[in-house]
Amino acid sequence: MRTSPYMNVPAFEMGQPARIPSEPGAVVAREQLREYLETQVGEDGCVRGQCESRVLESVLSLHLLQQLGLFSEVQGRIEDYLRAQCIDEREDPLHAVLRRHALGESTSQDAEAVRAYLAGFDHFTNRRKRMMFSVLMAELGLAPFDSVLTPEDFSNSGEEKYQSWVGVTVASLRILHAVGSGFPEWIRAEDVELLTATQSTEGAWEKHLLANILALLALRHFPRHREPLQHGIGLLISVQNADGGIPFITGMEIFCTATAGLALVEAGSRKSLLYRMADYLVGEQQPDGGWGYAEDVHQTDVDDTSYCLEFLRALDPMRHAHAIERAEAYLVDMQGADGGFPTFVAGSKSEVAMTAGALNALAPNREQHAALIARGIRYIITHQKADGSFERSWSLSESNAIFRALLAMRLLPESASGLRMTMELAEEYCLDYLRRSQNVDGGWGQRAGDVSDPISTSYALIALSHFDEPATLARGVRYLVRQQQADGRFLSIPDQAGPRPIAYNVPVLSEIFALLALDHVLAARPAVAMPAWKAMARQFPTLGLEAR
């Protein structure tokens, strides 16, 4: 039986084969895209995943250099980058306001626009995010420091556990607010020590430039720490992009290599290239069995570990058995009491997309993990929204969480048959959302009603290729094929979010997920010619028809 290129799960396990319409353009598009992506794999097996510049980090870096009176030429290049940005204020009021302010073009409505933007945060970290942007707006001079904030607002203590850069971010914000508000007694020696430690590496700490910039803004208030400050500023300048701007992160090598590897395995790339990619990833596995999002990032996470595990198993499970075993153990240990999986730290809040990713990665051993998978699927189902979607995670596209959840739900073990009717209803809600949100051009946007884009469409096609949705699927495939550039690439809008919900762009992800989508669509096509008796045998295995 053919397996899904993504989850190592039988593509039509539920018995109703999808009728995939003929789309000859999809075959040509996949071949051209495969060839393009292969050129993105370096000699070391890595897909670099460069991050584009972003207004937030660029404005903060400019502010830092202006406060210190350093590197006027670098400041000028940042200003040139900001002048070149065309921002839709309705879609991105934060960056529009920041850009105007940095260029001396602020308006009287800007402070209110920022307040309205912050009030719209709906993610579970919204309290911390609002505190963060409140301090940043005050630091930049866009608003007064918030007199309501207390030391407890800058505390990482409590039940919630955070990834490493949150601790650095919160310590930096505490110092900036304490200095700006006239409360020097709030500054803790351990916070200053933490920030100086982040500037003692050879590269940007954890590849997280936003956290590094905030640390440098705070450290400038401590003359005795001039050396780590100078070291950090030098590193910051060294990662300035060619367009003059500063990105959110310096790279996304692990995530891009793992997802590209998955796409290239099914697309038929040569084994020598795929083994090079796999060996690179194995070399980046952390002592706890997980992976971070980039080289030299020690904070591991469920998302990257799930993709790495899937790729290694899809390519050669025997060759990579030890790494696979360690990765599985890592994921098993991350499941929470509610059945869900968090992104970064065991015991923190679970998320649907992370839960689905972990279940899909563990699917080949689902007999062994039957109870774990059943608990995870129950978590996914109970967190579905009324419109059929789920909370958006590290992707801004509704269809990302939907495709991952749909494929995870198909793993329901026989021992959890009591969940089947509820699961099938949840599946139908997902499919109904995708049908309703498809645009007239055949594509999907990040949310229902948004303009179509290739990466959101790719996510939707991955989901639909596993269900009997021929008309919806055919229109989506035609849209995606039409978006391909002459060189094989796909250009899309920023899809990743960090800090959520602020968008950032790693362009190669558009090609990676477009190839994954075409892999899924074309893998489903053999089902068209499936004899009726074989489809019935899958639906009613007790009839014994598979013996024919």
Catalytic residues: 303
Contacts of 40 (CB under 8 A, 6+ apart): 47, 48, 260, 508, 511
CA distance readout (Å), 443 to 391, 477, 517: 21, 8, 13
Burial 211-237 (b: 16+ CB within 10 A, else e): bbbbbbbbbbbbeebeebbebbbebbb
**Single-letter residue type at 100:** R
Neighbours of 116 (CB within 10 A): 11
Contact 402, 460 (CB under 8 A): yes
| Residue among 331, 323, 335 nearest 361 (CA) | 331
**Single-letter residue type at 258:** A
Contacts of 494 (CB under 8 A, 6+ apart): 52, 396, 503, 504, 505
Contacts of 186 (CB under 8 A, 6+ apart): 151, 154, 174, 177, 178
**Single-letter residue type at 307:** Y
The dihedral of CA 519, 525, 526, 530: what is its sign? positive
The rounded distance, in Å, linking the Cα atoms of 80 and 407 is 45
Rg (CA), the chain: 24
Contact 34, 264 (CB under 8 A): yes
Name the H helices within 316-369.
Answer: 321-334, 352-362
| Residue among 518, 527, 535, 400 nearest 25 (CA) | 518
The dihedral of CA 233, 239, 245, 246: what is its sign? negative
Tokens encoding 255: 């995530």
**Single-letter residue type at 8:** N
**Single-letter residue type at 457:** T
| Residue among 396, 381, 393, 475 nearest 434 (CA) | 475
Strand partners, 247: 53
Matching residue, tokens 């006239």: 182
Q: Which long-range contacts (CB under 8 A, 24 or more apart) does 366-374 make?
A: 366/411, 366/413, 367/413, 369/332, 370/413, 370/415, 370/416, 371/415, 372/332, 372/335, 373/411, 373/412, 373/413, 373/416, 374/412, 374/413, 374/415, 374/416, 374/419
The rounded distance, in Å, linking the Cα atoms of 57 and 85 is 14
Phi, psi of 546 (to 5 degrees): -65, -15
Q: Is-cis flag, bond preceding 499, omega within 30? A: yes
